[in-house]
Homo-oligomer: A and B are copies of this chain.
Amino acid sequence: MIETNISRVIIQEYCKRLSEHLENDVVIVGAGPAGLAAGYYLAKAGAKVTIVEKKLSIGGGIWGGAAGYNIVTFEDKDILDEIGVATEKQENLYIADAIEFATALAYKAKQAGAEILNLTEAEDIILKDEIIQGIVVNNGAVRSLGLHVDPFCICAKYTIDATGHPAELVSILKKRKPKLFPQDLQEYFMNVETSETGVVEKTGEIFPGLFIAGMAVCDVYNLPRMGPIFGGMLKSGKKVAELINEKI
Residues of chain A at the chain B interface (Cβ within 8 Å): 1-15, 18-19, 22-23, 56-61, 63-73, 84, 86, 90-93, 95, 97-100, 102-104, 106-107, 110-111, 116-119, 124-128, 132-134, 136-139, 141-142, 144-145, 147-155, 164, 172, 175-176, 184, 186, 188-193, 222, 224-225, 227-229
Given known pairs A12-B19, A15-B11, the reply for A154 and B227 (CB within 8 Å) is no
**Contact present for B175 and A118 (CB under 8 Å):** no
Which residue of chain B has its CB nearest to the CB of A61?
A: B148
B residues less than 8 Å from A72 (CB atoms)? 10
The complex is assembled from copies of this chain, and their number is: 8
**Contact present for A60 and B148 (CB under 8 Å):** yes
B residues less than 8 Å from A106 (CB atoms)? 99, 103
Q: How far, in angstroms, from A69 to B118 measured CA to CA in the complex?
A: 9
- Give the interface centre of A22, A61, A148 by most chain B CB atoms within 10 Å: A148
Q: Determine the main DSSP class of A at the interface with B.
A: mixed
Contact partner, A14, options B65, B107, B145, Cβ 8 Å: B65
B residues less than 8 Å from A11 (CB atoms)? 15, 18-19, 22, 66, 69, 152
B residues less than 8 Å from A5 (CB atoms)? 91-93
**Contact present for B116 and A68 (CB under 8 Å):** no
**Contact present for A110 and B99 (CB under 8 Å):** yes
